[in-house]
Structure 1
Amino acid sequence: MDGERSPSPSTGRRAAAGVALLTFAGAVVVVVVVLLRHPVELPIALILLFATVAAAWSALVNRGLARLLAAAVAIVALVTVVLLPEIRSFLVISVVVGLVLASTAAARVAIGRDLAPVTGGHIALPARHGVLLMNPWSGGGKVGRFDLEDKARSIGVTPVVLQRGDDLRALAEQAVAGGADVLGMAGGDGSQALVADVASQHDVAFVCVPAGTRNHFALDLGLDRENVAAALDAFGPAVERRVDLALIGDRVFVNNASLGVYATVVQSEEYRDAKLATTAQRLPDLFGPGTDRTDFRFAKPDGSTARSADVVLVSNGAYRFTSMNGFGTRARMDEGLLGVVTVTVDSALDVPTLIAAEMAGQISRFRGYEEWTAPQLEIDSGQPLVDVGVDGEALRLPPPLRFRSLPGALRVRTPVDAPGAAPAALAPTGVVNVVRVLFRVLSGSSARSHPQRVSTRVPGQRNVDGFTDRGETP
């Protein structure tokens, strides 16, 4: 199909745009009115909240008497905010946050999928010999809950269910050696990476079935993670395209590798059962007085050498971060680049600023935040082993850690009717751009100001419109 995608928004989407603009304007009006009525008390309330967060952080990273004193300061500051006369600061903050959340939800409905990028791809023929490997323990037992084994068998796909002690890579290699032309994995991202590596090495098409806990790879491929069984349709006529993989040493990953605070905390055996308690217990060791920051050395885009960071994230493709919660999503995974993000917290006074940037969805404005892209990266350290979380798996690896992008290494298939785009690809960046897009939708125009040309023709194969390159019906 060659043409332009510029659909007019429905009445419902236009109404959602109006709601988004009105609720955002309402949040601004509330702040302005409170400032006019209480020009002194509101700033005082914000300063006290700042002090509360900074003192609470000091309590978390200290022990003994220092922890008790910091906790007392945090409590006194918080109580003072509550007792400020007339301003009712918590009510004001709650109203503003509620309006912003409502505006965000309505904006997502209004913008819809208008901004989704057109990625290269073609309609591939059904698998001749499809094999689906399954991890029955992943995602709390999603393989059994969604009856994936029987559903795979019903469409002519050979199911292989892992047993205790099985070598997943060996099973994937056996499947390819047995003639599999499409290899799938139902499990978490660590398993996805391992099987994708095998598929890549043999240039066999790969199917991702989101049967894990988070399935960030599936999300960024544009799959519906809630409808797990729908991913099996990729063994039939499916959209096939090439995406990148990434390496740390000789290990492939599909999402990211994290170093620093998070990677160290998740090494604890207690972390899975008590995440918050374990994190609180480890914070004094990581940020407390006299603690040496993790020794990381790596080149920055300006040619200088970084000597430390609290968090380092190296990803397969650049993430779009509005916050550090969930590590964001990727608009594309086909540009042959690693995404690199570092976060450095120098003192307790940085924490309120970091939290404010996180809550506002503007994490990139935090002064200790840096991001860039590169085809490769080397991270050295004086430590004999470095804690690394690779696609959610806790590892300890000897430095230097060498990262490299593998451009277009994986042939990946997704169902024709899958959503087809990651959240990062569907939303504009920056408040001004969001408002501009919402006004376009409200006026009855597409959210995209410049419609994209769509061309997915591949000679001799059916394309995404269901026609061959000669315009014949299938």
Structure 2
Amino acid sequence: MGRRMGRDVDRKDGSVPTGTPQGAGSPGLMPWASSGETPPSNPRWLPLIEEVMKVFVVLNPAAGQEAHASVRDALARRLGAAQIPYEVHETVEGDAIGEIVRARLREGFDLVVAAGGDGTVSGVVDGLVESSIPLCILPTGTGNLIARELGIPTGVDEAVALIDGPSGTRRIDAMRIGDRVFILNVSVGVSVSVVRSATTGLKNRLGRLAYLWGILLRMFRWRSHPLTVAVDGVAEEYRAIEVSVMNCGMLPKALYLNGPTLSVDDGHLDVFVLGMKAIRDYPGMIFNVLAGRPFDFLWRFLEVEKHATIRSDRPLRVQADGDIVGTTPVEIEVLPAAVRVLVPQEAATAPSPS
């Protein structure tokens, strides 16, 4: 016996898409349930229902033994009580999570759970793009930025309850680089050195302070670079210490209080360009970030509707969602409304801030 879960509209006019029930070899849309509710016109959220019959869980044990045990316990109690069958795949270093998810979808799973941090969520999203299968996030990582932006509970038990309790879905945007899909940000510059410094062990010990430690270790080595940024075919040149293509609104909100309001489901990406006049500016930047104060270090904001490209005179490392993915030049494609995510009903029935 399965559980009926929130689903969303796939047509901009709010009409009902056709489809066939989920089969063992053909992921597809479920028909509308008979709920008596009228679909809203916005295609990104809707607390209507479909049935969950089989769940695939991607569990990252790197978050620590306590988080690992709490996920296992919550799944056993809640899904067991709801008689929803599930299978758990525990990740190991080097796993191609997206490929694993794509392969397992052919076995008839109609919901995928990502239990871990933003990196785990990113890997699962990579496997769900171009399918209609929704995602449930159990946030057990350091930042949990996507979960926080979508209003998903940070407690594991409360997050699992979205599967067998009241919930809806929201469609979130994504970014494609080559054959990989990402959800947070893609950047060139100082963030690369910070990501390399914040190891899994350090994040487990220090939490979010691991990123601050990375900044303090390396900030006096930061140098600006001549960079060319092309947005939807229009190129501009900058001398910058950082160019970041953002999808998640939580990151810029923490760094630049006077910047634009971003949302993971606004249908576009945003490019942030950061420059500094001198090395002596860096401590002031760190102090203002920690104090929650706005600062202005030659920021530039560019909105991306289709694609963005970052080029440099010499190859510079590129990070995406916390992984080093290559060197410049890098091209990022916008994937609007790419994946459906389970959220609390109150988050499913109200639009994101714009």
TM-score by length of 1: 0.54
Instruction: Write out aligned runs for 1:359-378 (5 A).
Output: 359=291, 361-363=293-295, 366-375=296-305, 376-378=307-309
Deviations 1:130-161 (A, max 9, x none): 22221222366513134244235413140313
Seen in structure 2, the aligned counterparts of structure 1 residues 321 and 201 have a Cα distance that, compared at 3 Å, is closer
Secondary structure of 1:137's aligned partner: helix
Does the 8 Å contact 2:318/2:327 carry over to 1?
no
Distance 1:136 1:360 in 2: 32
The answer as to 2:119 corresponding to 1:190 is: yes
Larger radius of gyration: 1
In 1: Cα distance, 2:158 partner to 2:193 partner: 36
Looking at structure 2, the residues matched to 190 and 271 of structure 1 have their Cα atoms a distance apart, in angstroms, of 11
Cα offsets for 1:268-326 (capped at 9, x unmatched): 58796476666445344324xxxxx3342213799562233112221125568454289
**Alignment partners' CA distance in 1, 2:260 and 2:66:** 25
Aligned partners of 1:137 and 1:149: how far apart in 2?
Answer: 18
8 A Cα contact 1:258 1:389, kept in partner: yes
- Quick one: distance in 1 between partners of 2:349 and 2:250? 17
Specify which of 268, 276, 286 is matched with residue 222 of structure 2.
Answer: 286
Change in 2 beyond 3 A, CA 1:285/1:125? same
Contact persistence 1:203–1:410 (CA under 8 A): yes
Q: Equivalent residue for 2:174?
A: 245
Any gaps of 5 or more consecutive residues in structure 2? 1-41, 203-209
CA contact (8 A) 2:188 2:317 kept: yes
Give the letter aligned to residue 218 of structure 2.
R
* Aligned equivalent of 2:31: none
Point out the more displaced range, 153-162 or 307-316.
153-162
In the TM superposition, what is the alpha-carbon distance from 1:245 to its structure 2 partner? Answer: 1.2
For CA contacts below 8 A with separation 6 or more, give which structure has more relative contact order: 1
Summarize the alignment of residues 389-408 of structure 1 with structure 2, pairs less than 5 Å apart.
389-393=319-323, 395-408=324-337
* TM-score, normalisation: structure 2: 0.70
Q: Which residue of 2 aligns with 1:58?
A: none
More strand by percentage: 2
Q: Distance in 2 between matches of 1:190 and 1:203?
A: 21
Residue of structure 1 equivalent to 2:244: 313
1:221 positional shift = 1.3
Of 213, 228, 233, the residue aligned with 1:297 is: 228
Q: Secondary structure at the match of 1:178?
A: coil
- Greater fraction helix: 1
Matches within 5 A, 1:71-470: 120-138=45-63, 141-146=66-71, 147-151=73-77, 153-154=79-80, 155=82, 156-162=84-90, 164=92, 167-225=96-154, 227-236=155-164, 238-268=167-197, 273=202, 279-287=215-223, 293-299=224-230, 305-316=236-247, 321-324=252-255, 332-348=263-279, 350-351=281-282, 354=285, 358=289, 359=291, 361-363=293-295, 366-375=296-305, 376-384=307-315, 386-393=316-323, 395-416=324-345, 425=353
Q: Distance in 1 between matches of 2:298 and 2:347?
A: 38
Check conservation: 2:317, 2:328, Cα contact below 8 A: no
Secondary structure of 2:293's aligned partner: coil
Q: Describe the shift of the 1:193–1:283 C-alpha distance in structure 2 as closer, same or farther (beyond 3 A).
A: closer
Q: Deviations over 1:84-118 (max 9, x none)?
A: xxxxxxxxxxxxxxxxxxxxxxxxxxxxxxxxx99
Match of 1:32 in 2: none
The match for 1:47 is: none
